[in-house]
């Protein structure tokens, strides 16, 4: 996921076919949504011209609540049945990634303040998006709002995407929704992207708007098209780099796919790279 420069999750977009769909294709279906992922989307995109988020009379940020209220309402009106899955305690081996993200956001905050002081709204908005962070009672407020709306909320023991994927694998939901591709690694048969950010969107750093539609990724079809197994997909992710490991410098998804197909597993790939 890329919110103004903040990368989250493994990037497998270059090797998976993403099929645009309509909301009508999801009518009547239960969708397990990665709540943290969605919350960050709302914090990133729902802002004023200079990047300032929406706030209430007490100065508390409300961009995320606005997003959950209006975007979720849109999903319900389309006949979709959303279930929001919130992250629990992250695994210890993710600590390095978490600390790196904190540094990125702190740096973006500094650049945002400087751009605002210069009156450069476009530059300010870009850095403001990258500075988005969860703070205060954001999570509790989001959960309360969703519950008041009658939307199911699930608290995962750890990674929300893993829990969402498990729900889909158990047949209790049709798909896992997230901007990341990690749910594919966790085994979600169907993954949806752009569910909460459909409509006209401005390209980062450009005065160009594009139409964003929901995208569906079918894990089984994707693996068959590439001629690999899910285990090999995990090997590809490890080579590229995930939230839990740095990956190998200079290796992207396509190169990783080529190497895994050649050697069948990551061990043999690492041996070749050492020679």
Digit-coded pLDDT (tens) for 221-248:
999 999 999 999 999 999 999 988 889 9
Q: What average pLDDT does the segment 65-76 reach?
A: 95
How far apart (Å, rounded) are the C-alpha atoms in residues 103 and 202?
26
User: What angle do helix axes 230-240 and 266-274 make, rounded to 10 degrees?
Assistant: 30
Region 2-225: CATH code? 3.40.50.1010
Please name the residue ranges forming H helices in the chain: 35-45, 63-77, 95-118, 121-130, 138-148, 160-169, 182-185, 219-226, 230-240, 253-263, 266-274
Which residues, including other chains, have CB under 8 Å from residue 190's CB and lie 6 or more apart? 168, 174, 175, 176, 216, 217, 218, 219
Residue 78's pLDDT is: 95
Q: What is the pTM for the complete model shown?
A: 0.87
CA distance 25 to 79: 10
Q: How far apart are the first and last CA of the chain?
A: 34
Predicted local confidence at residue 211, as pLDDT: 80
Q: What is the mean pLDDT of the chain?
A: 91
The predicted-structure confidence for 165-184, as pLDDT tens digits, reads as follows 999 999 999 999 999 899 99
Find, among 19, 175, 47, 196, the residue nearest to 112 by Cα: 47
pLDDT at 3: 41
Please say if the pLDDT value at position 199 is more than 80: no
* Listed range (19-23, 126-130, 229-233, 261-265) with the worst mean pLDDT: 126-130
> How many Å apart are CA 112 and CA 130, to the nearest integer?
9
* Residue from 178, 254, 171, 257 nearest 215 by CA: 178
Beta bridge partners of 47: 53
Supply the pLDDT for residue 174.
Answer: 98
Instruction: Check: CB of residue 226 under 8 Å from CB of residue 74.
Output: no
Asked if 218 and 226 touch (Cβ cutoff 8 Å), the reply is: no
Q: What pLDDT is attached to residue 91?
A: 84
Please check the confidence at residue 1 and state whether its pLDDT lies above 80: no
Tell me the CATH class for 227-274. mainly alpha
Report residue 212's pLDDT band, with 50, 70 and 90 as the boundaries.
confident
User: If you average pLDDT over residues 118-140, what whole number do you get?
Assistant: 91
Distance, CA of 111 to CA of 126 (rounded, Å): 9
Residues 156, 158: Cα–Cα separation, whole Å: 5
How much is the pLDDT for 5? Answer: 39
Specify the domain boundaries for CATH 1.10.150.20 within the chain: 227-274
Where exactly does CATH 3.40.50.1010 map onto the chain? 2-225
d(CA 15, CA 254): 6
Predicted pLDDT of residue 7: 44
Which of the 8 DSSP states describes residue 61?
B
Q: Which of 35, 10, 18, 22 is nearest to 167 (CA)?
A: 35
Q: Which two tokens stand for residue 127?
A: 């850095």
As a whole number, mean pLDDT of residues 10-24 equals: 92
Q: Residue 198 above 80 pLDDT?
A: no
Confidence bin at 2 (pLDDT 50/70/90): very low
């Amino acid at each position: 996921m890329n919110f103004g420069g903040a990368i989250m999750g493994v990037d497998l977009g270059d090797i998976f076919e993403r099929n645009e769909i309509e909301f009508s294709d999801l009518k009547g279906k239960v969708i397990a949504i990665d709540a943290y992922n969605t919350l960050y989307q709302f914090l990133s995109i729902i802002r004023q011209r200079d990047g300032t988020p929406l706030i209430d009379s007490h100065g508390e940020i409300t961009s995320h609540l606005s997003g959950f209220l209006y975007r979720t309402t849109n999903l319900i009106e389309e006949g979709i049945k959303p279930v929001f899955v919130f992250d629990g305690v992250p695994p210890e081996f993710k600590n390095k990634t978490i600390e790196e993200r904190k540094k990125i956001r702190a740096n973006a905050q500094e650049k945002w303040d400087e751009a605002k002081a210069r009156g450069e709204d476009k530059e300010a908005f870009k850095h403001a998006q990258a500075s988005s962070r969860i703070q205060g009672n954001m999570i509790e407020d989001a959960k309360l709002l969703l519950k008041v709306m009658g939307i199911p909320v699930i608290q995962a023991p750890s990674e929300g995407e893993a829990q969402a994927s498990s729900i889909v694998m158990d047949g209790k939901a049709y798909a896992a929704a997230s901007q990341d591709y990690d749910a594919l690694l966790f085994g979600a048969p169907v993954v949806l992207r752009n569910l909460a950010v459909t409509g006209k969107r401005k390209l980062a750093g450009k005065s160009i708007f594009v139409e964003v539609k929901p995208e569906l990724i079918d894990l089984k079809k994707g693996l068959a098209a590439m001629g690999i197994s899910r285990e090999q997909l995990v090997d590809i992710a490890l080579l590229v780099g995930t939230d839990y490991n740095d990956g190998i410098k200079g290796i992207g998804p396509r190169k990783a796919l080529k190497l895994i197909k050649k050697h069948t597993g990551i061990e043999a790939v690492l041996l070749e790279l050492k020679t």
